[in-house]
């Protein structure tokens, strides 16, 4: 069964030489392999304060998972886990 969750992506900006961390939606196939992700970061939202609080909880969960970074494999963009010593 396909599903999605929030994940932290590490992005390096060549022009500025800076690295930032953002939360994105990541989508998986039936074999739990990453298929795609949002190109722009997302922010928490909800139609009620309770829903907003639940969304923020999912953001906190994303921070606990391994960090992902965009990379290339066989001419296609993929996400790979990176290890951050500052965690």
Per-run averaged pLDDT (10 residues), the chain, 87 residues:
95 93 97 96 98 98 96 92 79
pLDDT, position 87: 61
Burial of 4 (0-12, 13-18, 19+ CB in 10 A): middle
The set of residues, in sequence order, having a beta carbon less than 8 Å from that of 47 and lying 6+ positions away, is none
Asked, for residue 87, whether it belongs to a domain, the answer is: no
Structural domain including 50 reads 3-82
Asked, for residue 7, whether it belongs to a domain, the answer is: yes
Asked, for residue 43, whether it belongs to a domain, the answer is: yes
Asked, for residue 70, whether it belongs to a domain, the answer is: yes
pTM for the full model?
Answer: 0.88
Domain count, the chain: 1
């Amino acid at each position: 069964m396909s599903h999605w969750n929030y994940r932290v992506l590490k992005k390096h900006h060549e022009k500025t030489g800076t690295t930032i961390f953002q939360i994105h939606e990541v989508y998986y196939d039936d074999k739990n392999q990453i298929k795609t992700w949002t190109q722009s970061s997302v922010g928490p939202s909800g139609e009620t304060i309770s829903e907003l609080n639940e969304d923020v909880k999912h953001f906190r969960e994303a921070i606990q998972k391994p960090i992902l970074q965009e990379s290339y494999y066989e001419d296609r963009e993929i996400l790979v886990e990176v290890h951050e010593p500052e965690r």
